[in-house]
Chain A
Amino acid sequence: MARIIVLGSGFAGNTAALNLKKALGRKHEVVVISPRKHFSYIPSWIWVGVGSMKPEKTQFDLTPVYEKFGIEFKNGAAEEIHPDSVDRYVVVKYTDGKTEQVKYDYLINATGPKLNFAATPGLGPDEGYSDSVCSLPHAVKTRDNFLKAVEKMKQGKRQKFVVGTGHGTATCQGAAFEYIHNLEFEIAKRGLRNMADITWISNEPTLGDFGVGGVVVRRNGNFISGKLFAESTFREKGIKWVDKAHVRKVKEGSLDYVNIEGKEGSLDFDFAMLIPPFAGIPISYIDKDGSDIKSQMCVPSGFMKVDADYTSGTKPFEEWKNSDWPKKYNNPLYKNIFAAGIAFAPPHPISKAFKAPDGTLIAPSAPRTGMAAGIIGHTVALSIIDMVKNGAEEPTYSASMAEFGAICITSMGKSMTRGSAALLTMYPVVPNYDKHKFGRNLNYTFGDIGLAGHWVKYMLHYLFIWKMKGKFLWQYIPD
C-alpha cells in the first residue's frame, strides 16, 4: 500500500488528490494536508473585491468531498519535510499547536504562494496602505474600502484609484487588469464615472504583456498585438496608465515608483489595489543528519526546484529556450517529491526581464494560472498512479508550459446583459520564437471582447466548482 500526501487544496492540489484517489481506490491512501479546509475559486475574487459577488459563492467546504472520496484530510500546515529518513515524513502543525508526523511514499507540494507584501515597504492591507484581492479576507476588505470610496463620490468627493502591481517582480497582471475594469464598470454603473480618476501601474514592459511576453492575435486580416488590445480598453474607459514600473514604497495616500528608464514618479490615491510579489510557502526541508537542505531543494524565493534548467535563468532573454521549462515536476534530489501549480520554481520569467539604471529588477514573474495549475496537478497525479500501479521508476507523464495552451478570460464587468470580458487563448503559454513567427500558433491563439466572454467566465465559475466538488461526471470536465 502506498501513501501519497498532497500539500495544499487549491487547483493543483485538489485536482491531484481527486484523480489519485479515483485511480488508486481503497488499496492506497491519499492524504491532503492544508491549513484551509475550503476550496476557493480564486478567479472570482476580483468580483468579491468590487462587491459584485458574495464571498461565500467563491468557496466551499472540502470536508464532505474528501469524505465521499475516501481521502484523509488533515487541517493543518506542513512545517517540515524529512525526505531522507527511512520513514519519510511531513511534520504537520495544527491550529491548536499540536504537531504530527505523517509518513509518505510520494509527496506533492501544491502549497501555492506566500503573499510577499514585505518586499515593498507599505504594501498590503495588513501592515501597509494598499489593498489586495489575493486572499478572500483581503478581497472582502478591498470591497469594503472600495464601497467607502463609492460613498465619498456620492457625497461629491472626487476619488483617485490606483490598480496594478506593487513590485517589479510581481505576477498576476491579468487579475489586476480584471480588477481595474470591474472597478471602472461598477463606478460607471452607479453614474459616478466623472468623479473618479483611475490609473493603472504595472511592471509589464508594455501594456498587454501580462507576464507571458504579450500575445499577438489575428483580427480582421491583421496581426494585432496585445499592447494595442490593452491600450484600446484603457482608452475606451478613460483609464490612465504607467507601465515598466517598480513600486518602491507605498505611503498613506501615495506611492513612489521608478521605471525602466530610471524615471522616478509618484501617484496619489484614495484607494489602491496592488498585487504583491509571490514567494514559496516557508517549509523546512531536513535531511537525515538534521541539516536544513532547503537551499538544495528550493530556489531563493522559496519555490521548489523541479526538472527545469535553472542555469538558463542567468542567460539573456535571447538564449531562453522552451526546453528550459519543466515537464515532469519532480525534484532532482528526491524523485518521489513533486511540485505542482505555483509551488514549482519556473526557470526564468516568460517576459523579458529589465533593470532600471540603478539595478532595480523590473521583470514580471511567470504567471501560473488555475488552468496551468490544474493541468500540472493532474499530470503529476497520472505519473504517480503509473509509479504506484505499474512500478514505473520515473514519472511517465509530461505537461510543459512550453507545450500546452491556456484559456484566459479577463472579466471587464459583471452583468448578464451589460457585462463584458476579454477571452484570450494562447498556445503554447511560453512563446516559441524558433517555431512560430509571433511566438505562438495563431490558429489556437485568439482574442475577443464582449458580453459572451462574460457568459463564458460565469459558466466556468460554476463548472469548476462542480468539478472541484467531485460531482457527477467531474472527471470529464477539462483542467
Chain B
Amino acid sequence: MENKNDDDLMEYVPYTSDSRSFIAPTKYTLFTRLFIPWQLIKFAYYNIKMLKILSKGSGRFMDE
C-alpha cells in the first residue's frame, strides 16, 4: 500500500545471502493483485480450481 515504486519494495544488498536468490513482486504485479476487473476473473478461476480439487473427493467408501 505504501510502496510507490519497485525500488521501495525491498532492501537489496549485493553479495549477501539474501541477494543470491530472491523473489519480490514488481509494481505491475502489485497493481494486478488489486485491479478489480482482473480479480473478478481470478475469483471465477479460483472457484473452478477449488471445485476441481473438491471433485477429487474426500471421504470414500472403501470398495471404491
User: Chain A residues in contact with chain B, CB under 8 A?
Assistant: 185, 188-189, 191, 193, 224, 228-229, 231-232, 235-236, 238, 375-376, 378-379, 382, 395-399, 404-405, 407, 417-418, 420, 423, 425, 427, 444, 446, 448-453, 455-456, 478-479
Q: List A contacts of B34 (CB < 8 A).
A: 417-418, 420, 450-451
User: Chain B residues in contact with chain A, CB under 8 A?
Assistant: 1-3, 9-11, 21-25, 30, 32-34, 36, 39-40, 42-43, 45-47, 49-50, 52-54, 56-63
Q: List B contacts of A452 (CB < 8 A).
A: 39-40, 42-43, 45-46
A399-B58, A417-B36, A449-B33 known; A188 vs B43 contact (CB < 8 Å): no
Instruction: Find out whether the CB atom of B9 lies under 8 angstroms from the CB atom of A404.
Output: no
Instruction: Find out whether the CB atom of B58 lies under 8 angstroms from the CB atom of A444.
Output: no
Return the contact of B53 from the options A236, A396, A405, A453 (Cβ within 8 A): A405
Instruction: Find out whether the CB atom of A448 lies under 8 angstroms from the CB atom of B42.
Output: yes
Instruction: Find out whether the CB atom of B23 lies under 8 angstroms from the CB atom of A228.
Output: yes
Instruction: Find out whether the CB atom of B25 lies under 8 angstroms from the CB atom of A232.
Output: yes
Closest 9 CB pairs of A and B: A379-B59, A452-B42, A452-B43, A375-B58, A399-B59, A450-B33, A235-B10, A452-B39, A451-B39
Return the contact of A236 from the options B25, B32, B42, B49 (Cβ within 8 A): B25
Q: List A contacts of B54 (CB < 8 A).
A: 407, 478
Q: List B contacts of A420 (CB < 8 A).
A: 33-34
Q: Given contacts A398-B62, A407-B50, list 18 more A-B pairs with CB under 8 A.
A: A188-B1, A232-B23, A232-B24, A232-B25, A235-B9, A236-B25, A376-B59, A395-B62, A404-B56, A418-B34, A420-B34, A423-B49, A427-B56, A450-B33, A452-B39, A452-B46, A455-B43, A456-B47
Name the CB-closest residue of A to B21.
A228
Instruction: Compute how far the CA of A375 lies from the CA of B56 in the bound complex, rounded to whole angstroms.
Output: 13
Instruction: Compute how far the CA of A449 lies from the CA of B45 in the bound complex, rounded to whole angstroms.
Output: 13
Instruction: Find out whether the CB atom of A451 lies under 8 angstroms from the CB atom of B33.
Output: yes
Ordered by A's residue number, 21 sampled pairs between the chains whose C-beta atoms are within 8 Å are A185-B1, A193-B2, A235-B9, A235-B23, A236-B9, A236-B24, A375-B58, A379-B59, A382-B61, A395-B62, A396-B62, A397-B60, A404-B56, A405-B56, A425-B49, A448-B42, A448-B46, A450-B33, A452-B42, A456-B43, A456-B47
> Interface on chain A toward B: helix, strand, loop, or mixed SS?
mixed
Instruction: Find out whether the CB atom of A231 lies under 8 angstroms from the CB atom of B32.
Output: no
Q: For residue A381, give the distance in angstroms from its CB to the closest CB of chain B.
A: 9
Q: For residue A230, give the distance in angstroms from its CB to the closest CB of chain B.
A: 10
Instruction: Find out whether the CB atom of A397 lies under 8 angstroms from the CB atom of B22.
Output: no
Instruction: Compute how far the CA of A450 lies from the CA of B49 in the bound complex, rounded to whole angstroms.
Output: 15
Q: List B contacts of A456 (CB < 8 A).
A: 43, 46-47, 50
Instruction: Compute how far the CA of A330 lies from the CA of B62 in the bound complex, rounded to whole angstroms.
Output: 14
A405-B53, A418-B34, A427-B53 known; A397 vs B61 contact (CB < 8 Å): yes
Instruction: Compute how far the CA of A229 lies from the CA of B48 in the bound complex, rounded to whole angstroms.
Output: 22
Instruction: Find out whether the CB atom of B59 lies under 8 angstroms from the CB atom of A382.
Output: yes
Q: For residue A414, give the distance in angstroms from its CB to the closest CB of chain B.
A: 13
Q: List B contacts of A404 (CB < 8 A).
A: 56-59
Q: For residue A219, give the distance in angstroms from its CB to the closest CB of chain B.
A: 10
Q: List B contacts of A238 (CB < 8 A).
A: 10-11
Q: List B contacts of A232 (CB < 8 A).
A: 22-25
Name the CB-closest residue of A to B29.
A449
Q: For residue B20, give the distance in angstroms from its CB to the closest CB of chain A.
A: 12
Instruction: Compute how far the CA of A262 lies from the CA of B30 in the bound complex, rounded to whole angstroms.
Output: 38
Q: List B contacts of A399 (CB < 8 A).
A: 58-60
Q: List B contacts of A235 (CB < 8 A).
A: 9-10, 22-24
Greatest chain A CB density within 10 A among B43, B53, B62 is at B53
Instruction: Compute how far the CA of A446 lies from the CA of B47 in the bound complex, rounded to whole angstroms.
Output: 12
Instruction: Compute how far the CA of A224 lies from the CA of B33 in the bound complex, rounded to whole angstroms.
Output: 18
Instruction: Compute how far the CA of A325 lies from the CA of B21 in the bound complex, rounded to whole angstroms.
Output: 35
Instruction: Compute how far the CA of A458 lies from the CA of B57 in the bound complex, rounded to whole angstroms.
Output: 24
Instruction: Compute how far the CA of A407 lies from the CA of B11 in the bound complex, rounded to whole angstroms.
Output: 33
Instruction: Find out whether the CB atom of A450 lies under 8 angstroms from the CB atom of B50.
Output: no
Instruction: Compute how far the CA of A423 lies from the CA of B24 in the bound complex, rounded to whole angstroms.
Output: 18
Name the CB-closest residue of B to A460.
B50
Q: For residue B63, give the distance in angstroms from its CB to the closest CB of chain A.
A: 8
Instruction: Compute how far the CA of A400 lies from the CA of B50 in the bound complex, rounded to whole angstroms.
Output: 19
Q: List B contacts of A407 (CB < 8 A).
A: 50, 53-54
Instruction: Compute how far the CA of A300 lies from the CA of B45 in the bound complex, rounded to whole angstroms.
Output: 44
Instruction: Compute how far the CA of A285 lies from the CA of B11 in the bound complex, rounded to whole angstroms.
Output: 56
A398-B62, A404-B58, A451-B39 known; A425 vs B23 contact (CB < 8 Å): no
